[in-house]
Amino acid sequence: MARSRTRAPRRSFGAIRRLPSGRWQARYPGTDGSLRAAPERYETKREAELFLAQVQADQARGDWIDPTAGEVLFAEYATRWIDERGVAPTTEELYRRLLRLHLEPTFGDTYVNAIGPAKVRTWRAERRKVTGATTTAKSYRLLKAIMQTAVEDDLIRRNPCFIRGAGREDAAERPVATVEQVFALADAIGIRWRLMVLLGAFASMRPEELAELRRSDIDLDAGSVRVRRAAPELNTGHRVVGDPKSRAGKREIMLPSFTLLDVRRHLEWFAQDGPDGLVFVGERGAALRGTTFGRKWRSARDTVGLPKEFRFYDLRHTGNTLAADTGAKLKDLMVRAGQSSERAQLIYQHSTKAHQRRLADDIDADVRRQRAAGRPLGAVAVPRGTPAPPMGSGGAARAR
């Protein structure tokens, strides 16, 4: 009687075949039912079987990712990622600049699923040599955020950006101007821009907040300024009017009394007409332009002898340092500076106007003590014989 040949059990998942080269090929059905080939050929049948077993287990757990899903160019995916964020115009501008200058040259023509940890490490090392640590950290954070979305979109299994500390910026400590240097800057920059310097320092106001400050935002009786809007300037020169930088940016700032004379004088001589008139405008009455003010600022900074890296924004450090030296509570300091985070919000949300008034008075007293030996507060260095700035219609100044 002839023996019956025993057949191997029919494979329940996928298929394996031996190629003419002697190597083994594995094929398997995707979750959409279409048959797919394994990404490589195997030396032994056992290796092909292990691959199929892994794919089957991944599909059963819901962990399987279609290997062709990530075959989208990084430049295309990253551009769409930015389009879908809905971020502030200044943030969008930053993202597009980082993408264009620092990410696309390396990753732009690469499929998202082909970007691995080794390529990210090599890119970061090269960028640090070319652009420095700060810009590289910003670019790395953007790359990591884009690739994390690719994980969530099931384009890749894991984020290739996991270099510890690579997204942290260890920027050098910013310079802080003394009280005397602030007043020297205010004198050197000229009477039209003097109040901007004083409010930037002693009211801790950001330049974009000053650019959108209106007459109706100033309450001379209360001695306060309300920050309700901000107008950051893009690289194109266009200002985008919107909410301040943070949730706490909308605030009322109590002014030190020594600034009020400058405030009254500026409103009389230079501000636009009407309650909605801009407080700070150019010499021809147009909205403030960063390029115009920047030239004035750099000249004044060099005259005073401050370092070239000293920015207008750094004036806030002087005011914040003075406020901290008064012994004020953290919640009062955070409100005055307009700083916000979920954690900080819980700390300083109970700050009251009375606390802010006392804080402003303490700054006023401290500055007066430091200036006691100098000329009277509010005095402006105007050459002898210079006439008062001529008045335009409604009090808008024409003088430089």
Check pLDDT > 70 for residue 36.
yes
DSSP 85: T
Q: What's the pLDDT tens digit per position in 132-148?
A: 899 999 999 999 999 99
Structure tokens, 381: 């260095």
With a cut of 60, say whether residue 97 has pLDDT above it. Answer: yes
Window from 158-162, 168-172, 290-294, 388-392 with minimum mean pLDDT: 388-392
pLDDT of residue 154: 83
Is 165 part of a structural domain of the chain?
A: no
Q: Please tell me whether residues 343 and 284 are part of one structural domain.
A: yes
The verdict on residue 1 lying in a domain is no
CA 70 to chain CA mean position, Å: 29
Q: Let me know: does 366 contact 325? Beta carbons within 8 Å.
A: yes
Query: Is 126 in the same domain as 221?
Result: no
The side-by-side arrangement of strands in the sheet containing 224-227 is 218-219, 224-227, 251-254
Q: Could you tell me if 98 and 197 lie in one domain?
A: no
Q: Quote the CA–CA distance of 240 and 237 in Å, as a whole number.
A: 10
The residue type of 77 is Y
Q: For position 7, what pLDDT does the model report?
A: 57
If asked whether residues 185 and 38 sit together in one domain, one would say no
- Residues 290, 340 within the same domain: yes
Domain for residue 3, yes or no? no
pLDDT of residue 238 exceeding 90, the answer is no
pLDDT of residue 348 exceeding 50, the answer is no
Name the domain count of the chain. Answer: 3
Indicate the average pLDDT of the chain: 84
Q: What is the mean pLDDT of residues 247-272?
A: 92
Q: Tell me the angle at which helices 133-152 and 89-98 cross, rounded to the nearest 10 degrees.
A: 100
Structure tokens at 269: 């001589």
CB 159 within 8 Å of CB 147: yes
Residue 393 has pLDDT above 70, yes or no: no
Collapsing DSSP states into helix, strand and coil, what is residue 254?
A: strand
What average pLDDT score do residues 322-326 get? 79
Q: Are residue 293 and residue 367 in the same domain, yes or no?
A: yes
Average pLDDT, integer, range 321-329: 78
Is the same domain home to 28 and 141?
no
Structural domain contains residue 10:
no
Query: Is residue 170 included in any domain, yes or no?
Result: no
The CATH number covering residue 96 comes to: 1.10.150
Same domain, 56 and 90: no
Write down the pLDDT at residue 147: 96
Residue 67 belongs to some domain of the structure: no
For residue 164, tell me if it sits in a domain. Answer: no
Please say if the pLDDT value at position 349 is more than 50.
Answer: no
Report the C-alpha dihedral over residues 279, 281, 287, 293, rounded to 10 degrees: -120
Q: Print the SS3 string covering 155-196.
A: CCCCCCCCCCCCCCCCCCCCCCCCHHHHHHHHHHHCCCCHHH
- What integer is the mean pLDDT of 261-274? 96
Between 134 and 5, the more confident residue is 134
Q: Which of 42-46, 218-222, 242-246, 267-271 has the lowest mean pLDDT?
A: 242-246
Give the pLDDT band (50/70/90) at residue 362: confident
Span 50-87, pLDDT tens digits: 988 888 887 787 777 777 777 899 999 999 999 999 88
Find the CATH number of the domain harbouring 284.
Answer: 1.10.443.10
Does residue 380 have a pLDDT over 90?
Answer: no
Number of residues assigned to the chain: 400
Global pTM?
0.66
- Taking residues 353-360, what's their average pLDDT? 78
Residue 308, domain member (yes or no): yes
The last residue of one of the domains, among 98, 133, 152, is: 152
User: Which of 61, 91, 116 is a domain's end point?
Assistant: 61
Q: Which pLDDT band, with edges at 50, 70 and 90, does 392 fall under?
A: very low
For residues 85 and 48, membership in a common domain is answered with no
229 and 328 part of one domain = yes
Is the same domain home to 252 and 227? yes
The answer, yes or no, to whether residue 91 has pLDDT greater than 50, is: yes
Q: What is the dihedral of CA 331, 336, 338, 342, to 10 degrees?
A: 10
Kindly report the backbone phi and psi dihedral angles of residue 281, in degrees, each rounded to the nearest multiple of 5, phi listed first. -135, 165
Percent of the chain with pLDDT over 70: 86
Phi (first) and psi of residue 232, to 5 degrees: -65, 145
- Residue pair 363/256 in contact by the 8 Å Cβ criterion: yes
141 and 192: one domain? no
Provide the domain limits for residue 56: 15-61
| Mean pLDDT value of segment 191-204 | 95
Q: Which residue has the higher pLDDT, 398 or 63?
A: 63
Average pLDDT over residues 156-179: 86
Q: Write out the E strands in 151-309.
A: 218-219, 224-227, 251-254
